Structure 1
Amino acid sequence: MMTLKEKLDDLNDMILKGQILESMDKYYHPDCVVMEKNDVVATGLQEAKNREAEIFKGVEAWLKSEIIATAVGENVTMTEWHYEYKHRDFGHKKFDQVAVQHWKDEKIIRDRFYALY
């Protein structure tokens, strides 16, 4: 069985390779909740995947995904990211984000994003 650190490293590696929806199938709990700052933006795996797919529709060029730091605790993982991309509607975007995942039954039950735009 993989440790939580191994799962986080694999999850982040998949994200870096652009396999975001595949990583969600592999690691997200069917009953997951996704939060952006203080708002619930998706409930359940399918809604979370639909939301991700919608976000990426307008991306014209992905310029950078960089991991700044990671942390692993008891049933919790965190990754600090730096992203840069060109979006059809929003132009050239650069931002930093911290993703905090809470794990249950070996899967991510809650994923919360704290971002500086």
Structure 2
Amino acid sequence: MSKNLEQLFNEKNQMILKGQIVEASEKFYAPKTKTIDFTGTTTNSKDEHTTTMKNFVAALAKVNEISLRRSAVGDGVTFAEFVFDFDMKDGSKIYWHEILLSNWENGLIVEEQYFKG
């Protein structure tokens, strides 16, 4: 029996909350997923996005907070409001209050856009 969108979305969010950002990308993104962040930077495949996430995670010194504030599921679309607070190895700090808009097809994310909250 296949999982419904709400189950998949909840599983993805739980992985993110545990810091499993790379693993969530590998599991839930379609091969030709497109992502667009709030700076306008895009990735055009699962591989490209996963590499971006691996590089980001490798630059982390400390995770101070990953929290899910709100979430919603619609017809083929999900929304999640997260707070991310990281210390980076270069001494910088990252604090993102971020909204993730994900479009899903056949149990995988085909497009995801990130907005500042």
Task: Give TM-score scaled by structure 2 length.
Answer: 0.91
Structure 1, 97-106 or 17-26: larger mean CA deviation:
17-26
In the alignment, structure 1 residue 105 sits paired with structure 2 residue 82: no
Identity %: 20
Instruction: Specify the alignment match of 1:22 in structure 2.
Output: 23
Structure 1, 85-94 or 59-68: larger mean CA deviation:
85-94
Instruction: Specify the alignment match of 1:2 in structure 2.
Output: 3
Q: Structure 1's 29 and 68: CA in aligned 2 closer, same or farther, altered over 3 A?
A: same
Query: Helix, strand or coil for the counterpart of 2:90?
Result: coil
- Amino acid aligned to 1:72: V
Query: Helix, strand or coil for the counterpart of 1:99?
Result: strand
Retained in 2: the 8 A contact 1:58–1:87? yes
Instruction: Specify the alignment match of 1:51 in structure 2.
Output: 52
Separation in 1 of the partners of 2:104 and 2:93?
33
Separation in 1 of the partners of 2:89 and 2:68?
25
Retained in 1: the 8 A contact 2:63–2:86? yes
Once superposed, which parts of structure 1, at least 4 consecutive aligned residues long, lie more than 4 Å away? none
Gaps of 5+ in 1: none
Q: Structure 1's 74 and 90: CA in aligned 2 closer, same or farther, altered over 3 A?
A: farther
Q: Report Cα offsets for 1:14-72 as digits up to 9, x if no partner.
A: 11122222212221100100101262521111000011111222210001000000010
Aligned pairs, number: 116
Between Structure 1 and Structure 2, which shows a larger proportion of strand residues?
1
Retained in 1: the 8 A contact 2:33–2:44? yes
Separation in 2 of the partners of 1:93 and 1:40?
17
Retained in 2: the 8 A contact 1:33–1:40? no
Separation in 1 of the partners of 2:114 and 2:108?
17
Gaps of 5+ in 2: none
How large is the Cα RMSD of the aligned pairs?
A: 1.5
Structure 1, 87-96 or 26-35: larger mean CA deviation:
87-96
Q: Structure 1's 84 and 38: CA in aligned 2 closer, same or farther, altered over 3 A?
A: closer
Instruction: Specify the alignment match of 2:71 in structure 1.
Output: 70
